[in-house]
Amino acid sequence: MKKNILTVLLTMVLTISCGLLLANHLVEPKADTYTNSNTLEWIFNNVDYNYTRVTTMYFNDSAYSKASEANHYKNFQKSRTTYWIKNGLYMTNSDGVDSGYLTKADEPDKMYHFTIEDGNSKLDDPNKVKNVAFAADIVGGVDAFFVNMHKFHENATAYAGKFTNTADNVWTSTDSEMITYFLAFCASCYTNTEAWDTNGDGVAEVLEFEKVTVTLQQSGTYYFDLYVKSEFYCILDDAHLDTGLFARADVHNVTSTSIPAIASYLPS
């Protein structure tokens, strides 16, 4: 009788132990978790108008020369600073870029081009605004025409849903729509024309992209980054050969950016 009881108890212990081992084996590994200051949706919701964007493309000199020759827009340059406000923007850099676009208060579906005499040092002087001329009929005006933070803001939930949290304060997407938007947002005026024969077959190829990322910096700025596929690393400068980073939009001065010089043209 005692032997039977011991046998039963031993069987129960073994069964429970085996069950626990099996259960532990079947449980999937815990997914990576990250510490984020805010969510990506919060970032898109937090930035709408009134910010400064610095865009930089990391071409090496040879690739930049080829891209410049093939590009549709002749004012294409590696880097520029854009001041964004509601119904207006102004672009500048050290290579002579000095122009912007605005939508007038009484013409909400048109864009006008303008320049500022003496450049961005005179953003607060309405007397320096020059050469205001009709540019295009655009439903919604400036805000609707460009890929900008307003676009991400208006689609915050849907666009954030296309990204995966891949590190602390970093989100990554391989979605083709996001890649297209980041190309416009990070690589100002670049039209991605065929310019490179990367495999030596004599045929130029269209630049292809691997992924995009959004990074929330501790300083309160936001990096929007666009990466090329590995076969196109050869067009990058030395500093970015290992990562594939092709272009970055550095978004900062959120809510404090303004262009007082054009205020009289805009809706109040």
Q: Mind listing the pLDDT tens digit for each residue in 37-64?
A: 999 999 999 999 999 999 999 999 999 9
Query: In whole angstroms, what is the distance from residue 135 CA to residue 250 CA?
Result: 27
Closest CA to 67 of 179, 194, 233, 183: 194
* Digit-coded pLDDT (tens) for 87-134: 999 999 988 889 999 999 999 999 999 999 998 899 999 999 999 999
What length does the chain have?
268
Query: In whole angstroms, what is the distance from residue 58 CA to residue 235 CA?
Result: 8
Please, which pLDDT band fits residue 20 given cuts at 50, 70 and 90?
very low
Place of tokens 């119904």: 87
222 close to 216: Cβ distance less than 8 angstroms:
yes
Place of tokens 């013409």: 107
Full-model pTM: 0.86
Tell me if 5 is assigned to some domain.
Answer: no
Please, which pLDDT band fits residue 220 given cuts at 50, 70 and 90?
confident
How many degrees, rounded to 5, is the angle at CA 39 between CA 33 and CA 43?
150
3 state DSSP class of 102: strand
Q: What pLDDT is recorded for position 219?
A: 82
Query: In whole angstroms, what is the distance from residue 166 CA to residue 57 CA?
Result: 23
Tell me if 66 is assigned to some domain.
Answer: yes
Identify the domain containing residue 158 by its residue range. Answer: 40-265
Tell me if 4 is assigned to some domain.
Answer: no
Q: What is the 3-state secondary structure (H, E, C) of 119-165?
A: HHHHCCCHHHEEEEEEEEECCCHHHHHCCCHHHHHHCHHHHHCCCEE
Phi/psi at 254 (5° precision): -70, 130
CA distances (Å), origin 12, targets 4, 191, 210 = 12, 71, 54
What would the mean pLDDT of 213-239 be, rounded to a whole number? 95
Beta carbons within 8 Å of 163's beta carbon, 6+ residues apart: 40, 171, 172, 173, 178, 214
* Digit-coded pLDDT (tens) for 247-257: 999 999 999 99
Residue 180 DSSP code: H
The CATH number linked to 227 is 2.50.20
Tell me if 91 is assigned to some domain.
Answer: yes
Tell me if 134 is assigned to some domain.
Answer: yes
- Helix, strand, coil content of the chain in percent (nearest 5): 35, 30, 40
Query: In whole angstroms, what is the distance from residue 40 CA to residue 164 CA?
Result: 9
Tell me if 14 is assigned to some domain.
Answer: no
Q: How many domains does the chain have?
A: 1
Buried b (16+ CB within 10 A) or exposed e, 21-42: eeeeeeeeeeeeeeebeeebbe
Tell me if 172 is assigned to some domain.
Answer: yes
